[in-house]
Structure 1
Amino acid sequence: MDTLSANEAKTHFGDMLLKAQRAPIQISKNGKPVAVVISADEYASIEKLKLQLLQSRAVQARADIAAGNLVDGDSFFDELEAGHHD
C-alpha cells in the first residue's frame, strides 16, 4: 500500500484520488498512520461484507437459541472484553 504524508496528500489531492481508484492509499501524520483513502466501490464492498457477516452471525445466533446452545451473559461479556470471539 502506498503511503503519503498528510502534507503530500493535501498537495497532491487529485493524484491521490486517482491512485485510490486502483489501490488504497495510507495517510500518515507525524510518521503515524491516521487514515486510508479507498475508492467508493471498495468501500461499498467492505460495507457489503460487514452486512453479510452480521447477517450470518444473526442466523447462527437464532440456530444456537433454537438448539438451546446458550451462554451466561457475564461469561459472554468477559470473553468479549478479553478479545476472544468465534
Structure 2
Amino acid sequence: MLQPAFANVVPALFGAMAYQYFRKNVQVAVAPLVVMSLLFMLVPSLTSSTSFMIIPSGALAIGIAYSMYRKQKKEADVK
C-alpha cells in the first residue's frame, strides 16, 4: 500500500537537498537543464532512459562547478 509513495519520496528528497546548492550557483543548474532539455527534444527516444542521462548531466554540472572553482581560486591568487 505504501510502496507507490516511496517511488516519489526519494526524488523529492534529492530535489530538496539539491535546491540549496543550485540556488547559490544558478549557472551550475541551468547549463545541464538546457543541454538535457535540448537533447531530449532532438532525440526523443532518450526519454525512456532518463535514469542513464543523469550521469552525463551530473558530469556536466561537476565540470562547470570545477571550472568556476578554478576561476575563483585563480582570481584569489592574483589578489
TM-score w.r.t. the length of structure 1 is: 0.36
Higher RCO structure, 1 or 2 (CA under 8 Å, sep 6+): 2
- Radius of gyration: which is bigger? 1
TM-score w.r.t. the length of structure 2 is: 0.39
- Higher strand content, 1 or 2: 1
